[in-house]
Structure 1
């Protein structure tokens, strides 16, 4: 059969007329809607129409940083499981989350492996065998018994340095002896200094020295991880070498700093005398870490990567937890007064409170920290892939090849689980301590945060020492106060956004407090 080129060209030209292209787009859209609503394997699961058809609405919320609020809103409307993209469902039920997080069958989804700025590590790897090996290597390091040896470093870089900075600020405050500080900034730098000192093997005192280059490098790395995970464009050569050259430059310098720290430590070890002890910090523990099954140790590059991940996970999450706890207590002054009374009745004003003392004596302070972790979790979502053969969750079957996102924000406020779910109500943890296990901010199961004990050690002791030594009050010009309430009569919390962690949107404006030395 002979095809006349002129006829073929004319037919193609007619096919690509704007009206025909428009018809094709309309036909595709109609088919797409029909398929997702009636034929998709997720069509029997509740969820908003637009979210069934395209991933764009969820992506917009993620880029705006309000995805956790979206999950809470949709959880109220649709219950514990609903569609959020054509191939993804949200999980807002603690029982379902225990199933997902309790086994390696639900692998981390490709968002984790999208991050190419560093090699696979405890947090970013999607390979369950590598994760198991890392946890065998690192697990003993992060035990409370081992961290106890590092507590002098934690207190020196943490509480004692914070005291030095705040006492200096108060001394410069004039006759009123009240210093105006941004507690978000100070706590962020303090936790950076703790993990940096533990991870680099040398003192880092950015809070009191004003040297914030490490903090800025950590911030740049968090931004890179966030954008690489959700938008593949950010991994392109164009973006890395031109648009975000400064971000990647800071990360490269950060990586070099970690590498130098390891090389310096190895030189130090080579010169130790037989009767000299090795340093007791995270850097040394990572260098010495060995898998008890395979006897494999981490390479220098792997130690660098794990040190960086420790800095990212161990500083930002801890400081933000303390920030939100202070903010919520300032909005609920009767709870703040109760915490202060509990701390000061248990300890003298000049006593440096360590973790064990705080844990044993300050039940209400711990309840307030748990309530902060519940109400404003610093980690908000955990995306996973459906296992081979699919799985039934919340009564719905989801086939293999689809994904789910465990929404920590929605689980922690699920009205089917929590009494007064949207209120700051720390007494719940005094009445029933078993519900602490339902607060999933540190995850649970096989992927539980390996630095959980270190985070609790930092948070518990720092909070106790702050309330023991200082009085805190809101300035007159602050926007969010106990008297500014919503339609339910609850104090309105400051705006926040979710990127790698859940942070205040305007910390320099909203995380301001007047501090003075305790008056009694």
Structure 2
């Protein structure tokens, strides 16, 4: 999901600079690095469970979509800058910031298809942009904070590699100085944060909806978690959780049906024509060199020839069927595959397992002794399914997101 959300200038980075950028990022998103980050994910999970407890005590409705965005934002900002936003523990989860991000995604569609618009907006001082687009003020204030944090990292003389952030890696990389200016680093920060928070949070929220809406799937997951980890208070790692076949199937089905990014993934073979053969039909297609081709994850994941009954949430389709993974485009493929795939999977496994180990599905009998969750005024058609493709999926206008009653 990281690297899937475009910034207005990312597409203008020369190819050799792009390789240097990836080389700087990749060590920070390797499996080994994400394993070291997992205590931060676990701490964020504990904060999320605390917020759920508070809602239960106070009789408040839990805005799960907002809470998941706050949680993923806390994780990625801590990793980027060495200091978390702390949104999850704020009363409003800093909703104005996420509203501004949503408005910015509306602009991103135009910047993708009107090449000169992004550079034009970037040439306008941030304070002037805030006057012209007041809805984005919260985002601009956050960008100024990112710039301050990056400049602190730039001026730091620390060599404590255990405390290195992603921006330590970028600033100390082989990228030319022109790609390390405050202006470029602000854009890099926006790309990393937005790709790291909204995408994974969307999949988390929609997975939670399906689990709360389907008691059979919910119960199968509970039984698998209980059998594998009978101690409810044990902190689990993604390495432990990835071994659970049904939880893994749920995660894969969530990524298929509700990818965090829906944008088309353009590719160009600049020097050679691409030749595709279909042996079954004895056909051949030639795509001339220099031709832009693209595909989006939804077009593949909703293909009934690959995924029968594609609109249904069916984790069982992944059980013992590893060949389906080749058709999962949520993180793209190839050299520009999402840099943050390991972080996204770790968050999905740890947070989902943590929430559903603790909470049962409310059975309406009011006799349950354990903490429970139930959907509150949430429908799939209005609040879950994609209504708008603004590079990331958006539900119907006016949706309040996925919400739950906590008891």
TM-score normalised by structure 2 residue count: 0.80
Check if 1:261 corresponds to 2:261.
Answer: no
Aligned twin of 1:480: 379
User: Structure 1 residues 476 and 448 mapped into 2: Cα distance closer, same or farther (>3 Å)?
Assistant: closer
Matched, 1:315 2:197: yes
| 1:408 paired to 2:297 | yes
Q: What is the rounded CA distance, in whole Å, between the counterparts of 1:498 and 1:390 in structure 2?
A: 30
Matches of 1:199 and 1:456 in 2, distance apart? 18
Change (3 A) 1:503 1:460: farther
Tell me how far apart the structure 1 counterparts of residues 384 and 162 of structure 2 sit (CA, whole Å).
46
Is the CA contact 1:472–1:515 (under 8 Å) kept in the aligned structure 2? Answer: no
1:170 is matched with which residue? 56
Q: Kindly indicate whether the alpha-carbon contact (under 8 Å) linking 1:340 and 1:467 is maintained by their aligned counterparts in 2.
A: yes
Q: Which residue of 2 aligns with 1:136?
A: 23
**Unaligned ranges ≥5, structure 2:** 278-283, 363-372
Match of 2:266 among 369, 375, 383: 383
- How far apart are residue 392 of structure 1 and its match? 4.2
Q: Mark the CA change 1:507 to 1:160 in structure 2 (over 3 Å): closer, same or farther.
A: farther
Residues 375 and 403 in structure 2, CA contact (< 8 A), matched pair in contact too: no
1:434 is displaced (CA, Å) by 3.5
For each residue in 1:49-104, what CA deviation from the matched residue of structure 2 results, as whole angstroms up to 9, or x when unmatched?
A: xxxxxxxxxxxxxxxxxxxxxxxxxxxxxxxxxxxxxxxxxxxxxxxxxxxxxxxx
Distance 2:132 2:374 in 1: 38
Deviation at 1:226, TM superposition (A): 2.7
Distance 2:154 2:269 in 1: 43
Alignment of 1:114-125 (within 5 A): 116=8, 119-120=9-10, 124-125=11-12
The answer to whether the Cα contact below 8 Å between 1:224 and 1:247 also exists between their aligned partners in 2 is: no
1:139-184 Cα shifts (integer Å, max 9, x gaps): 111101112222222222x2011012111111112xxxxx531211
Residue 402 of structure 1: CA displacement?
Answer: 4.7
Cα separation, 1, equivalents of 2:34 and 2:150: 20
In 2, distance between residues paired with 1:282 and 1:476? Answer: 37
Structure-1 separation of matches of 2:164 and 2:37: 6
- Give, in angstroms, the shift of residue 194 of structure 1: 1.1
Alignment correspondent of 2:314: 425
Q: 1:282 aligns with which of 166, 171, 191?
A: 166
1:465 aligned partner: 354
Q: Please list every run of 5 or more consecutive structure 1 residues that lacks an aligned counterpart in the other structure.
A: 1-107, 174-178, 485-491
Q: Could you tell me the TM-score, scaled by structure 1's length?
A: 0.64
1:187·1:322 contact (CA, 8 Å) conserved in 2?
yes
> By how many angstroms is 1:187 displaced?
0.5
What is the DSSP-based 3-state SS (H/G/I as helix, E as strand, rest coil) of the residue aligned with 1:405?
strand
The structure number with the bigger radius of gyration is 1
Contact 2:206 2:384 in 1 (8 A): no
Out of 247, 256, 278, which is 1:365 matched to?
Answer: 247
CA contact (8 A) 2:268 2:291 kept: yes
Give the distance between the partners of 1:252 and 1:512, measured in 2 at CA.
28
Q: State the distance in 2 between where 1:411 and 1:476 align.
A: 29
CA RMSD of aligned residues (A): 3.5
* Residue of 375, 382, 388 corresponding to 1:497: 388
Instruction: Report if aligned partners of 2:47, 2:89 keep a CA contact under 8 Å in 1.
Output: yes
Alignment deviations for residues 186-225 of structure 1 (CA, whole Å, 9 cap, x no partner): 1111111111222222232112123626545544543332
| Alpha-carbon distance between aligned partners in 1 of 2:325 and 2:375, rounded to the nearest angstrom | 36
Distance 1:379 1:325 in 2: 15
> Distance between the aligned counterparts of 1:479 and 1:217, measured in 2?
23
CA contact (8 A) 1:220 1:251 kept: no
Cα distance change on mapping 1:328 and 1:248 into 2, 3 Å: closer
Matched residue, 2:366:
none
Matching of residue 356 in structure 1 with residue 239 in structure 2:
yes
Q: Tell me which residue corresponds to 1:229.
A: 112
Residues 365 and 130 of structure 1, relative CA distance in 2, 3 Å threshold = same
Aligned counterparts of 1:125 and 1:232: Cα–Cα separation in 2: 10
Counterpart in the other structure of 1:70: none
After superposition, the Cα gap between the structure-2 partners of 1:433 and 1:134, relative to the gap in structure 1 and judged at 3 Å, is same
Check the 8 A contact 2:384/2:402 in 1, yes or no: no
How far apart in 1 are the matches of 2:102 and 2:78? 17
8 A contact 1:494–1:510 mirrored in 2:
no
